[in-house]
Chain A
Amino acid sequence: MNKTALIIGSGTCAKDLAETLAASGVSVLVAGVDGCAPAWGPGRTPNEASALLEIMDGAKIRFITGTAGGFTVEFADQDRRIRREVRDILIAEDPVPQVNGSLYGLTEGAGVVSLSAFKSMLNPDSGNSEAFESLSRVAFLTGALDESLPLIARDVMQAALDLQQNKGVQAYIFTGNLKVAGQGLETLSRNAKEAGVIFIKNTERPPEIVQAGDESITITYPDEVLRRPSVLNPDLTVVDETPLPSPRLKTLGDLFELETGPDGFLQADNIHRLLTFTNRKGIRVVGPARGVFPPVLIASEIAHTALSLSRTKDAETDEKNKARIETGKCVRCLTCVRICPYRAVALAPRPVIAAAACEGCGICAAECPCEAIAFDTFPSTATTGAVEPESEAGGNRSGASDFIPHVTVFCCSRSAVPARNMARAMNGGFPEGLSFIDVPCAGAVSRLHLLNALSNGADGVLVVGCHPDNCHSGGGTLLARGRSDGLKMLLPRLGVAHDRLAFKNLAANMGAEFSQVLEAFMAHLESLGPNPMK
């Protein structure tokens, strides 16, 4: 099977990734989504592993098909169509630095430069040393009106220290919160202060910055010690840059149906999307494609990716936990194709579960209008709610009534089950009357599961799922809540109090809350009495 990895990117990150992978023995194909592959520069050929490193320059990516373990990528090179089979896809687009001049009302010019431009000036190879002879005061603006970042603060402080120590120029750093969370940053800030760099930090009252017609800059700021406004006219003002997601990421996100984070990067802000993983197995996002990270972290990601990809044996697919479509029942409405968060339903031509990509969340089974999708690992709707409550010693029960509510609790495997284990360890058990049904994701609990539980004798039904933004399936917990809320509106028409059905968000480490939620629900059901549907 083809083991090539496709790296999509046009800049440094894609290059570093390609070189590391090729050096680890992985075949690599490098391309840019819009045809712009990284340039290795004149005289700099890809390193000695060039036999494994192929660059596809000038060809645009049109679409991909397939799934984890085997993607087909179609390129368009003018009129030619080129198809390539790859095993893994890695997206590594460099960020687009946005110079924050306009944030401060400044236009770049003779008196205002970006941080990158200034760093080049400081570079001893740039031949710019005379430029500093005419400077006596340089002001740095980073996070003075917005929030800075540790990796930017590092660059600013290093530049300021260099100016102060080596070039005899007085440096001023204007910021709000000084970012020092990072290896060596606190020491760097102290060294800079000791060398004479002046830090002006204002969070409540930011500095006023005015650029006159002749390009001279005036910065007015509250001085902490003098307790009155002070004025600075720097000879040069350096503004920082915020790394923004490349616009190519939007194209790639749409093309590959990937989750996008709130900041526009190609990874959901969800702790389950660890390191370089996305919602699609086999497709990863590296470094600046997924967020703003310091170089040392990006190096770890590249290393981790190389490790995963250089495995010679493919991970075995566990067949047990996968969805199965029963073709006799399927009416090809394509709901499963659209709803799968992992894009694991292929059309070949009828809907088929791609086992390598299926995470067994169960959302498709719950959404299928024909109940045509089954799992081996949790009950189908038909068998739910034959309520045989467990009887575990321990736990608290309020209320003196003889009525012991029978409660069916649907437990998400990632949150409720670990929380339940923790609760059991802390409290030694649960009250009588509880029946736990474990599901891979709260999104696997369908309306029929809930209704059957109630009509089969449960006095109350509780669904426990992860918090929004913490769901491994992206939106499974939201789907579950939506179904529960919708059903609660219908229950009174069946003569059932709507609060016999409850939905609760919990996390895996919330053992104490799990017990409290159960106790409160049981107490409430005791006051409601037995289910009239029984």
Chain B
Amino acid sequence: MAQNRVLVVGSGIAGLTAALDLAEAGVFVDVIDQYAFPGGQGIRLSCKATDTCVKCGACGVDDRLGNALKHPHIRLMTGSGIQDVRKDNGFNVRIRQAPGFVDPNRCDDCGICLSACPVEGGILQGTSGHHRPFYAVNESACLYVKDKSCTACRDACPTGAIDLDAAEKTESIHAGAMIVAAGFSIHSPFEKPYGYGVFPNVMTSPEVETVLKRRARLVRPSDQSEPDRVAFIQCVGSRDAKLNHLWCSGYCCGFALRTARLLRHRRPQMHTTIFYIDIQTFGRTFDAFYKETRESVRLIRSIPGDIYPSENESLKITYLEPDTGETLQEDFDLVVLSVGMIPPAGLEALSKTLGLRPTPEGFLGDGNGIKPAGVFPAGAVTGPMTLAEAAAGGAGAAWQVLRYLKNSQR
């Protein structure tokens, strides 16, 4: 019966939290995610602990995903999107699920498909023990899907786990309410004078997370060596009037300070520098953490101008020294851009389908005065926020959904 079934769009921390709360209350939850692997952006984060936990919350996403996958009231569908929605005593939602190219019963995670694939990003790799199978064919990049011109992965797979002719599926779900927990996407900083995409050793924060996760060390893309001098540049794509990104993304100061501290702990000879505007508060013991980190990480209150190439693929950063006003230059082996959050891919279309109206900034905000009945936004899709805030938002939305379902039964 529809009154006991809820559709959650997005399997990040907000969606998973909402789904678990609803499931515990006896509601059946379908969670759909447009990407191949569940867990949203949070599941891609690496652990920043040194001797003790630094409470970044990343492992909490893993924990929640594990619980959601086990819960009998929750069904998780990846590679899925909404095709259309009809109001019919609740919502009749038609969902399209991408073909399951990789058979989870046959795949043994050997990864040969990834090496065999000629297209960058044609085969995707998971980031968690809960991502089974660990590899997925990227429908939008795959050459076979495009014009049947390549079968390299299928041919190379030793267990015959890949079926490139697998068909997409559509199904209709009748849900009493919906939670939109579509999260966010990451700003791509090509417009900045930092050489992103041109200089190999300029990376974004999510790229650093991926390297740390796969390699347990940070290495320079150019030569896989560990850098001695690392610069973090904050607020890339956030607090930016030119881009009309008038928000603070909330996670980046925590990322930079925790990562810089971790790098120094693992490799004490490394020098880390953070270029910033204002350091934001994070966690519950921020003052002590900030004080301790400043002893080993250099903080410069200035956002760099141009970055030039230097020898051995290093980068020369130019910046205005805050006290004297001089223009200085300094070389770094690796530059990390702390990129901001932007509204998630596909939000415009989803908003039209559901009757939501994003704010001028593109996030859902507090509904902008328009609140279609039975549809509840939660998490970072409403505006940039941290993992903890998104989890709380998911919990809040679950409560609103339960009340709504109860009231609509009368």
A304 engages B129 (CB within 8 Å): no
User: What 1/0 flags go to A230-274 for Cβ under 8 Å of B?
Assistant: 000000000000000000000000000000011101000111101
User: Taking the complex as formed, is A468 at the interface, i.e. its CB lies under 8 A from any CB of chain B?
Assistant: yes
Asked if A509 and B213 make an inter-chain contact with CB atoms under 8 angstroms apart, the answer reads: yes
User: Does B272 lie at the interface of the complex (its beta carbon under 8 Å from any beta carbon of A)?
Assistant: no
Interface string of B14-27 (1 = CB under 8 A from A): 00000001001110
- Of B53, B282, B285, which contacts A507 at CB under 8 A? B53
Residue-wise interface mask of B (243-287) relative to A, using a CB-CB cutoff of 8 A (1 in contact, 0 not): 000111110010000000000000000000000001111111111
Q: How far is the CB of B27 from chain A (nearest CB, A)?
A: 11
Interface contact B395-A303, CB-CB below 8 Å: yes
Chain A: which residue is nearest B280 at the CB level? A181
Q: Contact between B110 and A428 (Cβ–Cβ < 8 Å)?
A: yes
Q: Verify A422–B128 contact, CB threshold 8 A.
A: yes
Closest Cβ of chain B: how far from A299's Cβ, in Å? 7
Is A512 interfacial (CB 8 A cutoff)?
yes
Chain A contacts with B in 189-229, Cβ cutoff 8 A:
190, 201, 203-204, 224, 227
What CA separation (Å) do A267 and B29 show in the bound complex?
A: 30
One of B66, B247, B287 near A418 (C-beta < 8 A): B66
Closest residue of A by beta carbon distance from B247: A186
Tell me if A426 and B109 are in contact (CB < 8 A).
Answer: yes
Report how far A508 CA is from B45 CA in the complex, Å.
11
Bound Cα distance A270, B284 (Å): 10
Segment of B73-81, B115-123, B398-406 in the binding face: B398-406
> Are A271 and B57 in touch, CB under 8 angstroms?
yes
Contact B285 A269 (CB under 8 A): yes
Instruction: Say yes or no: A270 contacts B278, CB within 8 Å.
Output: no
In the complex, A312 Cα to B213 Cα: how many Å?
A: 42
- Candidate in B52, B249, B282, B395 with the most chain A CB atoms within 10 angstroms: B395
Interface positions, chain A 494-534, Cβ under 8 Å from B, are 505-513, 516
Q: How far is the CB of B164 from chain A (nearest CB, A)?
A: 22
- Closest A-chain residue to B111, C-beta based? A428
| Contact between A307 and B389, CB atoms less than 8 A apart | no
Q: A311: CB under 8 A from chain B? A: yes
Are B399 and A505 in contact (CB-based, < 8 A)? Answer: no
- A201 partner, pick from B24, B278, B282, beta carbons under 8 A: B278
Verify A181–B111 contact, CB threshold 8 A.
Answer: no
Distance in Å from the Cβ of B184 to the closest Cβ of chain A? 14
Q: Which of B47, B134, B325, B393 is the one whose CB lies under 8 Å from A425?
A: B134
A425 touches B129 (CB 8 A): yes
**Chain B residues near A422 (CB, 8 Å)?**
128-129
User: Nearest B residue to A414 by beta-carbon distance?
Assistant: B63
Nearest B residue (CB) for A225: B325
Complex CA distance for A136 and B213, rounded to whole angstroms: 56
Min CB distance B360 to A, Å, is 10
Q: A507 — which chain B residues lie within 8 A by C-beta?
A: 47, 49, 53, 58-59
Question: Is A419 an interface position by the 8 A CB rule?
Answer: yes
Q: How far is the CB of B214 from chain A (nearest CB, A)?
A: 6
Q: Does B46 contact A (CB under 8 A)?
A: yes
Q: Is B126 an interface residue (CB 8 A)?
A: yes
Chain A residues, Cβ within 8 Å of B366: 183
* B66 to chain A: closest residue by CB: A418
Distance to closest chain A CB from B171 (angstroms): 28
Known: A186-B248, A508-B62, A509-B58. A425 touches B132 (CB 8 A): yes
Report the interface size for chain A: residues with CB under 8 A from the other chain. Answer: 75
Q: Report chain A residues within 8 Å CB of B389.
A: 297
B352 shortest CB reach to chain A, Å:
23
Q: Which B residues, 2 to 59, have Cβ-Cβ distances below 8 Å to chain A? A: 21, 24-26, 43, 45-47, 49, 51-53, 55, 57-59
Q: Give the distance in Å from the alpha carbon of A508 to the alpha carbon of B322 in the complex.
A: 41
Q: Select the stretch in A52-60, A143-151, A397-405 that faces chain B.
A: A143-151
B279 CB contact (under 8 Å) in A177, A224, A505, A513: A177
Contact of B109 among A148, A185, A428 (CB under 8 A): A428
For A147, A303, A310, A468, the residue with the greatest tally of chain B CB atoms inside 10 Å of its CB is A303
* In the complex with contacts A470-B49, A509-B47, A424-B283 CB distance below 8 A: no
Q: Mark A407-424, 1 if CB is under 8 A from B, else 0.
A: 000000011001111111
Is A322 in the interface zone, CB < 8 Å from B?
Answer: no
Q: Per a CB cutoff under 8 Å, which of B109, B215, B325 touches A227?
A: B325
B191 interfacial by beta-carbon distance below 8 Å: no
Distance of B262 from chain A, by nearest CB (Å) = 12
Contacts of B43 in A (CB 8 A): 509
Chain B residues with CB under 8 Å of A149's CB are 281
Contact A467 B395 (CB under 8 A): no
Could you tell me the distance between the alpha carbons of A513 and B53 in the complex, rounded to whole angstroms?
Answer: 15
Residue B229 lies at the interface, judged by CB distance under 8 Å to chain A: no
Chain A 340-371, CB within 8 Å of chain B: the 1/0 string?
00000000000000000000000000000000
Contact of B134 among A24, A180, A426 (CB under 8 A): A426
Decide if A304 touches B21 in the complex (CB within 8 Å): yes
B280 touches A468 (CB 8 A): no
Which residues of chain A are near B46, meaning CB under 8 Å?
509-510
Is B183's CB within 8 Å of the partner chain A?
A: no
Chain A residues near B290: list those with CB within 8 A: 147
State whether B301 touches A467 (Cβ < 8 A). no
A428–B108 contact, CB under 8 A? yes
Contact A179 B66, beta carbon cutoff 8 Å: no
Task: Select which of A299, A315, A421 is within 8 A of B396 by beta carbon.
Answer: A299
Produce 1/0 per residue, B342-356, CB < 8 A to A.
000000000000000
A38 within 8 A of B: no
Closest residue of chain A to B133 (Cβ to Cβ) is A425
Q: Does B239 contact A (CB under 8 A)?
A: yes
Q: Which residue of B lies closest to A510 (CB)?
A: B47
Q: With A178-B278, A428-B111 in contact, is A419–B214 under 8 Å at CB?
A: no
B53–A311 CB distance below 8 A? no
- The reply to whether the CB of B323 lies closer than 8 angstroms to some CB of chain A is yes
- B:329-378 near A, CB below 8 Å: 365-366
Tell whether A467 pairs with B280 under 8 Å between CB atoms, given A147-B290, A274-B60, A425-B109: no
The answer to whether A512 and B215 have CB atoms under 8 Å apart is yes
B162 within 8 A of A: no
* Chain B neighbourhood of A186, CB < 8 A: 238-239, 246-248
Report whether B63 and A508 are in contact in the complex, using a CB–CB cutoff of 8 Å. Answer: yes
In angstroms, Cα B59 to Cα A415, docked, is: 9
- Say which residue of B214, B301, B396 sits within 8 Å of A426 (CB atoms): B214
Cα A505 to Cα B50 with chains together (Å) = 9
A-B contact pairs, 6 of them (CB 8 A): A184-B383, A186-B246, A270-B55, A307-B395, A425-B126, A510-B216
Task: Given contact pairs A186-B246, A509-B213, enumerate 5 new A-B contacts (beta carbons under 8 Å).
Answer: A185-B248, A272-B60, A467-B52, A470-B52, A470-B59
List the 5 shortest-distance A-B pairs measured between CB atoms, nearest first.
A421-B129, A300-B396, A470-B53, A422-B129, A303-B399
